[in-house]
């Protein structure tokens, strides 16, 4: 088993665990990722002198690397200690990250000898249902690029308000995009793309609080 696990990089395990914990639909706390990585492959994610303890550093290094464009921009996020705004913190797979998982999950599960992941979707289904019921999404489905959607209607479709800051709005759009990729919801991807263009000035860093 040890020899087989050595065929996996730390990033392989971290991205797999992030997906396993639901990181395709929401941000996952760094410590939760660390603990699960330690459970899956303790030799890779433990202290050297005290191997019974999980080590957060290889997890952080892998996540920060996976976040960079040179590694494919496979995740978005930041540590909870560095979070720049309330409610933002933790890590989530991007659309590229989900595609990477789909390309590599069989290889990783074979080496780890793990069963196929079945991720909970209850909270995600609620979000999708709220989106489908929103005025903005209904307008988009009916009129596509010609849809006249207000700031308030756009925010409401993300379960936000007109006072919600740009960081949270962008984070909600990123979540929708990742969910759409995982669940093959092209209409949601198209809606996200439309909103990113229509509300570009609103969503630009510093354009709003």
Q: What count of Cα atoms within 13 Å lies in the side-chain half-sphere of residue 165?
A: 10
pTM of the model: 0.75
* Residue 32 belongs to a domain: yes
* Residue 42 belongs to a domain: yes
* Residue 209 belongs to a domain: no
Same domain, 128 and 47: no
- Boundary (domain end) residue, out of 112, 136, 158: 112
Same domain, 13 and 83: yes
Q: How many domains would you assign to the chain?
A: 2
Same domain, 50 and 76: yes
* Residue 117 belongs to a domain: no
Same domain, 16 and 79: yes
Length of the chain: 209
Same domain, 50 and 151: no
* Residue 83 belongs to a domain: yes
Same domain, 12 and 101: yes
Write a three-state SS string for the chain.
CHHHHCCCCHHHHHHHHHHHCCCCCCCECHHHHHHHHHHHCCCCCECCCCCCCECCHHHHHHHHHHHCHHHCCCEEEECCCCCCCCCCCEEEECHHHHHHHHHHHHHHHHHHCCCCCCCCCHHHHHHHHHHHHCHHHHHHHHHHHHCCCCHHHHHHHCCCCCCCCHHHHHHHHHHHHHHHHHHCCHHHHHHHHHHHHHCHHHHCCCCCC
Per-residue pLDDT 10s for the chain (209 aa) are 455 667 899 999 999 999 999 999 899 999 999 999 999 999 899 999 999 999 999 999 999 999 999 999 999 998 877 665 555 789 999 999 999 999 999 999 888 876 555 555 666 777 888 899 999 999 999 999 999 999 999 999 998 999 988 988 998 899 899 999 988 999 999 999 999 999 999 998 654 44
Same domain, 9 and 104: yes
Q: What is the largest CA-CA distance in the chain?
A: 62
Domain of residue 169: give its range.
122-203
CATH number, position 43: 1.10.10
């Amino acid at each position: 088993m040890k020899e087989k696990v050595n065929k996996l990089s730390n990033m392989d395990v971290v991205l797999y665990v992030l997906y396993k914990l639901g990181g395709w639909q929401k941000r996952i706390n760094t410590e939760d990722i660390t603990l699960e990585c330690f459970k899956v492959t303790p030799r890779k994610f433990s202290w050297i002198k005290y191997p019974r303890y999980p080590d957060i550093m290889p997890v952080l290094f892998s996540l920060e690397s996976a976040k960079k464009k040179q590694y494919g921009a496979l995740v978005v996020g930041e540590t909870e200690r560095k979070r720049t705004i309330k409610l933002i913190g933790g890590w989530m797979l991007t659309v590229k990250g989900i595609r990477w998982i789909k390309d590599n999950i069989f290889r990783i599960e074979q080496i780890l000898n793990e069963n196929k992941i079945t991720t909970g979707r209850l909270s995600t289904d609620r979000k999708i249902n709220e989106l489908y019921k929103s005025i903005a999404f209904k307008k988009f489905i009916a009129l596509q690029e010609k849809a006249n959607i207000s700031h308030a209607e756009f925010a409401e479709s993300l379960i936000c308000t007109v006072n919600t800051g740009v960081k949270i709005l962008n984070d909600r759009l990123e979540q929708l995009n990742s969910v759409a990729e995982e669940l093959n919801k092209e209409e949601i991807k198209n809606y996200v793309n439309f909103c990113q263009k229509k509300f570009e000035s609103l969503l630009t860093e510093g354009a709003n609080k």
